[in-house]
Structure 1
Amino acid sequence: MAIANVPIGMNTISSKNFSPKKLLQSKWSKVIPINKEKHFTVVEVEFDEQNNVVLCIIEAVINRNQYSIDWRSLRDSNIWRIGWR
């Protein structure tokens, strides 16, 4: 399991095993970009009373479009890579 090289002060998480608490402001690359949207940042994460993620919103860097996603999909290395690549 590799950890992405991220500058100091950035969230350092592995794409396979990460805590939802570290999602906010994490950066991701889409393996197959759609509409030239390749790089994304997690801009909002909401938790319920049991600290389960109920909302995860990513924002495309190129045009600031926002999408609500299931945060668990970020674990799929066929779709997402951690960091901007």
Structure 2
Amino acid sequence: MRRLNPKKLVLSKWTAVKPVNRELHFLVRAVVPPESPELPSEQFELEAVHSGRVQIIHWRDLQDEGQWLQGWK
């Protein structure tokens, strides 16, 4: 399992292991602010480079090497 720092994920590049709808490469676009300012940020907007579709993902989901590879492969 790779170690990730959620504060450094913005603008990082990711490759889906099993692409859906030709969406292979993704970019972490922004941090989703938590409901309360006291809580840490745990969710990010992940944008597909091919289609521009945006999805919300928990930063720990990127640690699953069965779903995501760091960088564009």
4+ residue segments displaced more than 4 Å? none
Note the residue ranges of structure 2 that are not aligned, 5 or more in a row. Answer: none
Note the residue ranges of structure 1 that are not aligned, 5 or more in a row. Answer: 1-14
CA distance in 1, matches of 2:9, 2:24: 18
CA distance in 2, matches of 1:21, 1:47: 12
Pairs aligned (count)? 71
TM normalised by structure 2 equals 0.86
Q: CA deviation at 1:55?
A: 2.9
Aligned to 2:48: 60
Q: Are residues 1:79 and 2:54 paired? A: no
CA distance in 1, matches of 2:30, 2:24: 18
